[in-house]
Structures are given as structure tokens and as C-alpha cells.
Amino acid sequence: MSAQNPTEAPSATPEDADKVMGRLGALAGTQVTLSIDAMGGDRGPAAIVAGISRSASKNDSVNFIIHGDAAVLRKLVKKHKRLEGRVEIRDAQGVVSMDEKPSQAMRRADTSMRSAIDAVKNGEAQAIVSCGNTGALMATSMIRLRKIEGVNRPAIACLWPSRNPQGFNVMLDVGADIRADARDLLQYAMMGASYARNGLGLENPRIGLLNVGTEDHKGRAEIKDAQELILKAAGIGGFQYEGFVEGGDIPGDRVDVIVTDGFTGNIALKTGEGTAKLVGDFLKEAFKATPLSRIAALLALTSLRRLQKRIDPRRVNGGVFLGLRGTVVKSHGSADATGVSAAIKLAYELAASGFSDRLAARVASAAAAAQTDQ
Amino acid sequence: MSAQNPTEAPSATPEDADKVMGRLGALAGTQVTLSIDAMGGDRGPAAIVAGISRSASKNDSVNFIIHGDAAVLRKLVKKHKRLEGRVEIRDAQGVVSMDEKPSQAMRRADTSMRSAIDAVKNGEAQAIVSCGNTGALMATSMIRLRKIEGVNRPAIACLWPSRNPQGFNVMLDVGADIRADARDLLQYAMMGASYARNGLGLENPRIGLLNVGTEDHKGRAEIKDAQELILKAAGIGGFQYEGFVEGGDIPGDRVDVIVTDGFTGNIALKTGEGTAKLVGDFLKEAFKATPLSRIAALLALTSLRRLQKRIDPRRVNGGVFLGLRGTVVKSHGSADATGVSAAIKLAYELAASGFSDRLAARVASAAAAAQTDQ
């Protein structure tokens, strides 16, 4: 697949996006067991089990271990006939709340989150999905799974609707850590390139470093240092470095991967989501404004649904934790069945492709090369 | 005017927004002279003179001193009859380029930017408008106008379309300085409150501090320190402090003023603009997709124009520099006549209301109170 050259492909449509997101569907048939934290989401376990059921109906090759209050989960699972024989329930009475401190949550042994992570640690499942507290999920994953050799700070990568032919850009870190020095940003570039290659099918992804301007003299000291490190590593990392990019390039087509620290990335992500939602709501109001505009809305229904699908954050639900010995997909806390199912699909594809091992191999070879280089 | 209570006012419409933005139009009749840097924009002096002409036709109480290549400007001004007798041309041969380093630009005495600033410094004009290099404009303004007593780092404030009754939120700093410590963030809160009061007519604006989560334990150390300082200063500053806010709150209705450092603010601003543009472009494509959707677009034309106006960044064009002895409005580099005219309107209203002096008085009284407090 070569989606690299924008002149070869028209601007992305929802169909393209589905194609790309389903690229690893070629791996269907690869049996995968996913470990699901069923308790952490804002909508409770019912929404999560409904999402699992939706995924199970679409993909015969996936089974589940789900973690939480066994009595509650048994009742929920019974409601979905298609889950018969495909779900194992693990009782875990503790629930990590959304406002619990990560340092506290990671010490509790009885939580559904910890139980879900341990199933991957023990080799019973190949990837974890949780809608729970992000900080707690990262802290517990780091303690239980451990970091890949050579990675200092793991990162969370998200997919962002964009003007690129593949339909999405990768941005990281969007919230694993509020700090990042130049070497961390270099590792984010390596890991982001690996994710874009395996997740979006881009042979040689274009990487940009997020800054307040594109001129070389702009920005904070650590960003200028990172620029030098990333430029040097482009060959080994298998990516092209395109220089500094600005906020407007995140949904643009200048680069495929946007590298930044977790503070800035998290705020950019939520600003983008909030702005898209504002414009969408204003659009709905505009169509309700006059009788004529209501008729127009009816006529344009298919096109508007197409637009809605294109910018629907539930379709790309799932931040991926990069830099750990195991694949962890963090779904939105408020995800409904559609959102949970999207996160499960992503987890399945990454697990089936052996992404976690590929990423570790790439980071190791880069570290070895840097050693030789010195 | 009481736009404070959301239960009293329906969600903002473009008409509301115009009303708010034209609130200081009650000051029409107050004679103001504006100093315009005619050379710095990406579209050249023609677009800027066209914007001046548009403003002149709408407002009889404003005159202009424009700075740049006199021969070029004379020709352009002659094309607009309505500018006869209302424009004075100052020859300045130097032009600050968009990629020039601020430290270099501020040393050049022959530029149109410097000449424009000096007209306010010398009391010949009440506010400056420039489409030029932001960093250079800030550096030169700081050197020539000087900072208000008690302000460490000046900030750039922008208006952001929002769900609030007043139609816009204020965000600062969006790019004056890439660093901000806790005391700087406190000053941004004071200055942002003053701008919201004078620019948006909010008696007691609600302030939020931008962070990666709303829980008190989240975020960088300087942000947690700033939270304590801002909470203490709420009474003196004449604002309510609402706590940490996230990126999604920037276009929301939880607060009226969003305080952050210039690195984060600049990236959030550009991410929001880029996302709104992406959704707008996707919408246009959706309406071109089928014959039915094209008919729908025709039927909904008025409503769609209304939407476009509501999210058009040109309508709120103009970052305001806060913390200087004089009012400086920075227009988008790529502003066309509509954008330049919006920036001029903002500069007129701020100059006519004596905003700069009011802000200085508020900062001085806060500093005095803090002294007594210790």
C-alpha cells in the first residue's frame, strides 16, 4: 500500500478512512484474546459489554477476558447471546475512580484495571482496552508491564482526522507525561513513525515537531535540541523529518506524525475536539433556523451523515500507549458502545500485527545504532 | 448590560455577537486617530489600504496615520475617494519581514512598524494596527512604548467564538512569550479580566486556568502555584476564579477568560483555527457530493452564510497586546480588507474607551493591595 504520495490519491473520504483503519483486517483469522477493563468508564459496564458484543459480531477471531464485578458482568453478558463461549469473566471488586491519583491507584491490587493489565503481563491476552482513568492506567501499566528497553517516557498516541490521503494523522504525546526533554521527543518521533507505519501503512512517514512557528530560531530550548536529534535519527527511524509545524498542521497534510510533549498535546487534542463539536452544533442550529433550511437538511441528509461520520471522534476512539511491553488502548471515558467497539477494533489490529514487538525491535536497533555512532 | 447570567440570554447568535462587538459603538463620536503599519502584511499595502477605506466608510470618527513607502501609499490612497482628508502618510522605507528575528527588527529605526508605534508613543495617535511579524511587533512595542508599571511579561489576548451569551471568550497569552511563571499567569488573569470587562461588557468575568485536567493535583508546578495566586486575587481583580479548565472549555461556556502561557496558547489557537477550517472544507465537499446535496446547499444558503459568519476568523481578527503603555492590535498576517477592517474596529473601540489607562489603573491598584496584604 502506498498512500504516501498525495498526487496519487484524492483527498480522504470516509471510505478511504475505513479502508485504512481496516487495513490490518487482512490479518483477520489471526486469533486474538483481548483483556477488557469493564468498570472504568463513565457510562458503567453496560456500555462496555455492549461494545464488546458489537465487536464480537463483526469479528469471529477475537475472544475476551473481561474484568470487574463478576455478578454484574455475568448478568450483562447473558443479555448478549452472541457473547456465549467467547467471554471469560474475572472477578475484581475494586474500581479506579476518574479522579483517583495515579500513584494511589497503581498500588491497589484488587482493581479491574490491574486485573486487565495482568492478563497481558501473564500472556493470557495480547492487548488491553480500558475506558478508565488515563493517569492510573499509564502508571499501573508501567509498573506491571514495564517499559521497552531504551524508552524513558512512554507516550499516548492518538489519530486525528486530517487532509492526508490516509485520512488521519498521528499525534503524540497527548497526555502520558506533562514533561518531555529533547531525548523524549526523539523517542516519540521513533515510536510515532513505527505506529504510522504499522497502523496507517505509511512506508516512510513524514514527521513534524510542534512549535509556535516554523522558523528554526523559534520555540523552547528543548524543542530546538530535539530538532537536531530527530533530524539525525531519520534514517534509522525510517521516517522523513519535515521540521517545525504549527497547530494548524495537526489536521493538515504537511506531515503524518506530529510530535509534542504531553501537556501541549493533550490541550491541542481537547481544543480540536471542542472546536469540531462547536462547529457541528452551530451547523445543526443553522439547519433548524428556517423552514427552507429544514427542507435543505432533509435533502442533504446523506451528505451530512457522511460529514458527521468523517469528523465523529468515536470512529477513531482509542489512544495507544507506546513504549510498553504490551499493547494498551485507552478509550474515551465517555465512550458508548460504538466508541468501545472502535477501541477494540484498534486493539485487535495492533495485537494481530505484532505491533508491540515491532516497535520494541525498532527502538532497540536505533539505540544500537546510536551506540555505534558515538 | 448583563450578559453574565446564561439563563437570561439564549445561546449567542451572530447578531448577539455583533451587538457585543459593537457595544463600544456607543462611544461613536469620540474622535480617534489610529496609526497603521501599512507594509507588514502578507497581501501587501493594497489590502491594508482597502481595509482602512472600508472602516472609514463605516465610522466618521476615525482618522488614520499610515506608515510605509510614501509613493506607493499615495497611489493606493488616491484610489479610495472616501479617504480624502482622513489619512496622513508617513514615509518609512524599511519593511520588517515575516521571518526576521525580533531582536534584529526592533533595532531598525527606519521601518514602517517602528514609525507606526512611535506615532502612539508621541501622542499623535491612540492605537496601532499592524499585520506584520508578531514577535517583532511585540519586541519593538516593548522597547518604544514600555510596559505598564507592575507587569513583567506583556501578553497577547485573542477572542474565540464560544457558547457563551457574549459570543466570544478571551484567551491569553496566545504567543507574546513562550514562557510564563506563576506570577506571569496571575498578571494574565488580571489583564484578561480587564479586557473582558471593557471589551465584552462582563462585570465579573469568570476565569479558568488551562491545564490537562480539572482536578487540583494535575499539571505542572507553576500552574498549581498560579492557581493559589489567582484565587487570592479574585476580589481585587474583579473576577471569579473557576479553577482548572481543559482545551474543550476554550470554546465552551464554563468560563469567559482562559489563562495560559504563550506556547500552549499559540498552539491551541492555531489548532482550533485549523480544525474549524477542516470541518468547514469537509462541509463544502459534502454539499458538492450529489445533485440533491447541491440543491440543498442552495436552499440552505442563508443559514450556511450565517454559520460561516459565526465561525469566520476574520470577524474577530485582532490579537490585542496587553500590558503596554498604549494599545497595539495585531491583525493576522494574511488578513484581507475585511480582516483589516475588523482589526481597525477593535482598535477604535479600545482607544475610544480609554482601555489602556483602565488596565494600567487596575494593575496598579492590585499591586498596591498586594503590598498592603503582605
Residue ranges with strand state E in A32-185: 32-37, 62-68, 87-91, 127-130, 155-161, 168-172
In this prediction, the residues of chain B whose per-residue pLDDT falls under 50 are 1-25, 374
Determine the distance in angstroms separating the CA of B70 from the nearest CA of chain A, rounded to an integer. Answer: 31
Which numeric CATH code is attached to A152-317?
3.40.718.10
Determine the distance in angstroms separating the CA of B140 from the nearest CA of chain A, rounded to an integer. Answer: 17
SS3 call for A12: coil
- Enter the C-alpha cell of residue A172: 503524540
Which numeric CATH code is attached to B13-147+325-353?
3.40.718.10
Interface of B with A in 95-134 (CB under 8 A): 99, 101
Q: Which of A262, A286, A298 sits opposite B307 (nearest CB)?
A: A286
- Please report, for chain A, the start and end positions of each structural domain, with discontinuous segments joined by +: 27-149+323-353, 152-317
Between helices A262-288 and B301-311, what is the axis angle to 10°? 150
Q: Do the domains A27-149+323-353 and A152-317 sit in the same CATH topology, yes or no?
A: yes
pTM comes to: 0.85
Residue B80 CB coordination number (10 Å): 17
CB contact under 8 A, A278 and B247: no
From 3.30.460.10, 3.40.109.10, 3.40.718.10, 1.10.3080.10, which CATH number describes the A27-149+323-353 domain? 3.40.718.10
Are the C-beta atoms of B227 and B211 separated by less than 8 Å? no
Identify the residue among B271, B302, B308 best suited for mutation to test binding to A, counting A beta carbons within 10 A and taking the highest: B271
Residue ranges with strand state E in chain A: 32-37, 62-68, 87-91, 127-130, 155-161, 168-172, 206-210, 240-245, 257-259, 319-322, 327-330
Report d(CA A114, CA A118) in Å as an integer. 6
The CATH topology of domain B152-322 is Isopropylmalate Dehydrogenase (3.40.718)
Q: Which residues in chain A touch residue B296, judged by CB atoms under 8 angstroms apart? A: 295-300, 303
Are the C-beta atoms of A294 and A288 separated by less than 8 Å? yes
pLDDT in tens, chain A (374 residues): 333 333 333 334 434 434 444 454 456 678 999 999 999 888 999 999 999 999 999 999 999 999 999 999 999 999 999 999 999 999 999 999 988 999 999 999 999 999 999 999 999 999 999 999 989 999 999 999 999 988 999 999 999 889 999 889 999 999 888 999 999 999 999 999 999 988 888 999 999 999 998 877 778 889 999 999 999 999 888 999 999 999 999 999 999 999 999 999 999 999 998 888 888 888 888 778 778 777 777 777 777 777 777 666 556 667 899 999 999 999 988 889 999 999 999 999 899 988 888 888 888 877 776 666 54
Q: Which neighbouring-strand residues pair with A89? A: A66
CB contact under 8 A, A268 and B280: no
Q: Give the contacts of B26 (CB within 8 A, at least 6 positions apart).
A: none
User: Beta A87-91 vs B62-68: how paired, if at all?
Assistant: unpaired
Report d(CA B204, CA A143) in Å as an integer. 46
Which one, of B154, B260, B171, lies nearest residue A264 by Cα?
Answer: B260
Q: Give the contacts of B279 (CB within 8 A, at least 6 positions apart).
A: A275, A276, A279, A280, A311
Identify the residue among B254, B299, B305, B315 best suited for mutation to test binding to A, counting A beta carbons within 10 A and taking the highest: B299
CB contact under 8 A, A247 and B272: yes
CB contact under 8 A, B271 and A266: no
* Angle at B202 (CA atoms; ends B25, B177), nearest 5 degrees: 95
CB contact under 8 A, B178 and A219: yes
State the ipTM, two decimals: 0.83
Residue by residue, DSSP assigns B240-304 as EEEEEE-GGGTTSSS-SEEE--HHHHHHHHHHHHHHHHHHHHHHHHHHHSSHHHHHHHHHTHHHH
Interface of B with A in 242-281 (CB under 8 A): 246-252, 260, 262-264, 266-281
pLDDT digits (tens, 9 = 90+) for B247-304: 999 999 999 999 999 999 999 999 998 888 888 888 888 778 778 777 777 777 777 7
Are the C-beta atoms of A329 and A355 separated by less than 8 Å? no
User: Beta B319-322 vs B155-161: how paired, if at all?
Assistant: antiparallel
Measured in Å, how far apart are chain A's first and last C-alpha atoms?
A: 36
